[in-house]
Amino acid sequence: MAAMALCRAAAGGKRPAGRALLALLKCEMLCSRRCLVTSRQLYSVVHDPDEKTFEKLLIANRGEIACRVIKTCKKMGIKTVAIHSDVDANAVHVKMADEAVCVGPAPTSKSYLNMDAIMEVIKKTRAQAVHPGYGFLSENKEFARRLASEGVTFIGPDTCAIQAMGDKIESKLLAKKAKVNTIPGFDGVVKDADEAVRIAREIGYPVMIKASAGGGGKGMRIAWDDEETREGFRFSSQEAASSFGDDRLLIEKFIDNPRHIEIQVLADKHGNALWLNERECSIQRRNQKVVEEAPSTFLDPETRRAMGEQAVALAKAVKYSSAGTVEFLVDSSKNFYFLEMNTRLQVEHPVTECITGLDLVQEMIRVAKGYPLRHKQADIPISGWAVECRVYAEDPYKSFGLPSIGRLSQYQEPLHLPSVRVDSGIQQGSDISIYYDPMISKLITYGSNRAEALKRMEEALDNYVIRGVTHNISLLREVIIHPRFVQGDISTKFLPEVYPDGFKGHKLTDLERRELLATAASLYVAEQLRSQRFLGTPRIPIAKSQRNTWELSVHLEDGVYPVAVSKNGSSFSVEVDGIKLNVTSEWNLASPLLSVTIDGTQRTIQRLSRNATGNTSIQFLGTVYKLQILTKVAAELSKYMPEKAAEDTSSILRSPMPGAVVAVSVKPGDTVSEGQEICVIEAMKMQNSMIAAKTGKVKAVHCKAGDTVGEGDLLVELE
């Protein structure tokens, strides 16, 4: 609508009065929307208005990072140009920017990665600089080169630094040269077991042995002593010869319980470089970070300095300018090894901003303009603690997160709480589509220490209202309250180790269960009482209920619990399992957030849905619980109700998530065996193979390659 307003306002002229009014009305709409997206910043460095900077900057990105960059540009007085695909015409970043231009249709290859179109926009709008954000073209040396040839500043490092760090092998060699710790190892032909042992001893145990030609973790063996090394050598060399016809072996230091810790660096074009402390990003799923924090609980000042100095050495070695991140793997004895360097602004940069007070985007723009850094290494503090949770539109119950899509029917960020920062690029009414990353926002909390930051995160997650799409708040909340996480005992294997059978939501303790049952029952009674209150005086008087006690039966998970509620004043006295709880609240049944006090414990819950039959879903401690609350009478009678036959799910295949069908490998009449691939669904850059749950004959195929499917859509039926 925004774009339309612009077009219409621009095209107007025939009916000046009406047009102008319409445009005005629409502009007003824009402004009101704009107000919705302001969020608290947690960095303090102010902009010096006398320092000359770019007049106009184009943001070659979308979503939260585009909004993040625009915020700093506004602060610095830089005009902004947003680019967008046609489905993003109503997106927040488009409304926030001073100008917005459509660069193509929804698929990223035709819009946000469409260099020709973007270069065209740059020329047309006369933007002097481009901030690439992260992802998309942020580490594309060709894009940086094309910008340079047009005399447009790329807000990032030089092309050669991008190139050097973009190549895994070259970056390792450079790192070695700059005396940065790299994972010690040997790659070549190993004569015999004795030589293997010698190499292993040189590297230091534990070591990992595998055939060089084998990709990934295939055929990998871990050896903790000489004996195991000999054995590993035997197997691996056999495998190398037989499977790959290549004798070379790779013996490398095995990093036990690795943590992913990265150092933020900031360098200018005058040879100055700083390290802005570390970020701990060990909580990952499928190599994607989920929870990040700064600083790390694990590093002592010496290790931090050593890592920081090596990171700066590497930056200097490649004449790095702008903000960048050097990633390390850290083992349990605080040995750290260089992994790679990211030559862009990282998703998780806000935690660094929180503890250092720097605005990294502002510094990037300054550096790009050619200004020297304003800080010395000694000026970089670690003040307080910051935690970031990546809030995704995905279902955490399916392999820690499969994408979900939908329209945000209700959306409210917990900005009413202290020390909360939310970086988002969406608002109430936005669509989460299959075309882009399903991240809803980055939720950052800050505290004077870690415990405070985590406590605030817990509250912020409970107070975050996201309706219309499935989200991962439950997983995030479980992670940050998990004893291992609270103690700082984490590694990149945290999620699979803690949830070996997959994430299943919060496990209620007996006390928590009673709290939930008491809250749900009180809510039910509050609702019943309200439905008897009518305003006005009807001709036939309304019979006032004298009822003060309710005998209910609440179905939760696999149990049915008798619950007795009695009202005294505004609070309810609820008896569950023979234990009495006192529940008080304002009982505002329209508010998306309900603050309830149960025996003195304050909880923020969200009632997501209810219906006439007492079915209620309540988000409690981050997890959504489905309950059914019935009167005792109704519950007793409900046992006479017929059981509805459940759908036989083994003979049908439904799409577990929204996405596009890439390939269908069966046709009607084919016989498939259990575990055989039936089709492939692609969603958010992930290909998911759908397999048959049983052996059988294909009855019908309801999709074809190229189709777009929704979650739960029927794909294939077996007989």
Partner 1 sequence: VASAVRVSRAPAQPHRCVTEQAGKKGESRCISPRGCRKASLRRRCPGARPRRGERGKLTARERILLLLDPDSFDEYDMFVEHRCSDFGMDSDKNKYPGDSVVTGRGRINGRLAYVFSQDFTVFGGSLSGAHAQKICKRNVLCSGVVPQISLIMGPCAGGAVYSPALTDFTFMVKDTSYLFITGPDVVKSVTNEDVTQEQLGGAKTHTAVSGVAHRAFENDIDALLNLREFFNYLPLSNRDPAPVCECHDPSNRLVPELETVVPIESTKAYDMLDIIYSIVDEREFFEIMPFYARNIVVGFARMNGRTVGIVGNQPKVASGCLDINSSVKGARFVRFCDAFNIPLITFVDVPGFLPGTAQEYGGIIRHGAKLLFAFAEATVPKITIITRKAYGGAYDVMSSKHLRGDANYAWPTAEVAVMGAKGAVQIIFRGKQTDAEAEYVDKFANPFPAAMRGFVDDIIQPSTTRMRICHDLDVLASKAQSNPWKKHANIPL
CB nearer partner 1, residue 25 or residue 160: 25
Helix (H/G/I), strand (E/B), else coil: 48: coil
**Whole-number minimum distance, CB 335 to partner 1, in Å?**
51
Beta-carbon contacts of 178 under 8 Å, excluding residues fewer than 6 positions away, are: 310, 313, 314, 316, 317
Beta-carbon contacts of 241 under 8 Å, excluding residues fewer than 6 positions away, are: 247
CA-nearest of 652, 646, 645, 647 to 693 is 652
Q: Among residue numbers 226 through 285, which ones bind partner 1 (CB under 8 A)? A: none
Contact with partner 1 (CB under 8 A): which of 10, 46, 378, 540? Answer: 540
CA-nearest of 345, 306, 300, 309 to 325 is 345
CB nearer partner 1, residue 187 or residue 648: 648
Q: Residue 672's Cα: distance from chain center in Å?
A: 37
CB nearer partner 1, residue 34 or residue 694: 34
**Whole-number minimum distance, CB 569 to partner 1, in Å?**
17
How many CB atoms within 10 Å of residue 484? Answer: 13
Contact call for residue 160 and partner 1 (CB under 8 A) = no
- Count of positions on this chain that bind partner 1 (CB under 8 A): 60
**Whole-number minimum distance, CB 612 to partner 1, in Å?**
4
> What distance in Å separates the CA atoms of residue 686 and residue 684, rounded to the nearest whole number?
5
Name the segment binding partner 1 (CB under 8 A); options: 104-112, 188-196, 201-209, 530-538.
Answer: 530-538
Residue of 33, 259, 279, 344 marked active site: 344
How many CB atoms within 10 Å of residue 492? Answer: 20
CA-nearest of 518, 508, 417, 396 to 462 is 417
| Owner of token pair 């030589």 | 195
CB nearer partner 1, residue 232 or residue 468: 468
| Owner of token pair 């003979």 | 651
> What distance in Å separates the CA atoms of residue 601 and residue 623, rounded to the nearest whole number?
18
Token readout for 294 is 């700064």
Per-residue string for binding with partner 1, 406-425, x by CB under 8 A? -xxxxx--------------
CB nearer partner 1, residue 15 or residue 286: 15
CA-nearest of 64, 60, 68, 67 to 85 is 60
CB nearer partner 1, residue 356 or residue 628: 628
Contact with partner 1 (CB under 8 A): which of 542, 560, 579, 686? Answer: 542
Token readout for 231 is 């054995």
**Whole-number minimum distance, CB 162 to partner 1, in Å?**
36
CB nearer partner 1, residue 287 or residue 545: 545
Contact with partner 1 (CB under 8 A): which of 10, 46, 378, 535? Answer: 535
The residue length of the chain stands at 719
**Whole-number minimum distance, CB 367 to partner 1, in Å?**
37
Q: Is 344 a catalytic residue?
A: yes
CB nearer partner 1, residue 50 or residue 643: 643
Contact call for residue 539 and partner 1 (CB under 8 A) = yes
Which sign does the torsion angle of CA 308, 138, 154, 147 carry? positive
Token readout for 383 is 């003040």
**Whole-number minimum distance, CB 529 to partner 1, in Å?**
9
447 close to 355: Cβ distance less than 8 angstroms: no
Contact with partner 1 (CB under 8 A): which of 52, 191, 376, 544? Answer: 544
Name the segment binding partner 1 (CB under 8 A); options: 43-51, 198-206, 587-595, 710-718.
Answer: 587-595
Q: Among residue numbers 545 through 574, which ones bind partner 1 (CB under 8 A)? A: 545, 547
Per-residue string for binding with partner 1, 19-58, x by CB under 8 A? ---x--xx-xx--xx--x----------------------
**Whole-number minimum distance, CB 608 to partner 1, in Å?**
11
Within 13 Å of residue 13, how many CA atoms lie on the same side as its CB?
Answer: 3
Name the segment binding partner 1 (CB under 8 A); options: 9-17, 125-133, 266-274, 672-680.
Answer: 9-17
List, as one string, the DSSP characters of 78-124: -EEEEEEEGGGTT-HHHHHSSEEEEEESSSGGGTTT-HHHHHHHHHH
CB nearer partner 1, residue 89 or residue 119: 89
Surface-to-core class of residue 569, CB atoms within 10 Å of its CB (0-12 exposed, 13-18 middle, 19+ buried): exposed
> What distance in Å separates the CA atoms of residue 250 and residue 232, rounded to the nearest whole number?
11
> What distance in Å separates the CA atoms of residue 682 and residue 709, rounded to the nearest whole number?
10
Q: Return the ∠ at Cα 415 (arms to 39 and 45), rounded to 5°.
A: 45
Contact call for residue 532 and partner 1 (CB under 8 A) = yes
**Whole-number minimum distance, CB 632 to partner 1, in Å?**
11
Contact call for residue 591 and partner 1 (CB under 8 A) = yes
CB nearer partner 1, residue 451 or residue 589: 589
**Whole-number minimum distance, CB 411 to partner 1, in Å?**
8
Q: Among residue numbers 611 through 650, which ones bind partner 1 (CB under 8 A)? A: 611-614, 630, 633-634, 637-642, 644
Q: Among residue numbers 77 through 116, which ones bind partner 1 (CB under 8 A)? A: 89-90
How many CB atoms within 10 Å of residue 357? Answer: 17
Per-residue string for binding with partner 1, 428-457, x by CB under 8 A? xxx---------------------------
**Whole-number minimum distance, CB 281 to partner 1, in Å?**
33
How many CB atoms within 10 Å of residue 558? Answer: 5
Contact call for residue 589 and partner 1 (CB under 8 A) = yes
Surface-to-core class of residue 75, CB atoms within 10 Å of its CB (0-12 exposed, 13-18 middle, 19+ buried): middle
CA 593 to each of CA 410, 522, 569, 680: distance values in angstroms, whole numbers, following the listed order: 12, 15, 22, 39
Name the segment binding partner 1 (CB under 8 A); options: 10-18, 267-275, 377-385, 698-706.
Answer: 10-18
Token readout for 182 is 């790299």
**Whole-number minimum distance, CB 473 to partner 1, in Å?**
20
Which sign does the torsion angle of CA 22, 23, 25, 26 carry? positive
Name the segment binding partner 1 (CB under 8 A); options: 303-311, 457-465, 535-543, 669-677.
Answer: 535-543
> What distance in Å separates the CA atoms of residue 617 and residue 523, rounded to the nearest whole number?
12
CB nearer partner 1, residue 238 or residue 588: 588
Contact call for residue 427 and partner 1 (CB under 8 A) = yes
CB nearer partner 1, residue 29 or residue 313: 29
Q: Catalytic positions, please?
A: 344
**What residues make contact with partner 1 under the rule CB under 8 A?**
1, 3-4, 8, 11, 14-15, 18, 22, 25-26, 28-29, 32-33, 36, 89-90, 407-411, 427-430, 530-536, 538-540, 542-545, 547, 588-591, 611-614, 630, 633-634, 637-642, 644
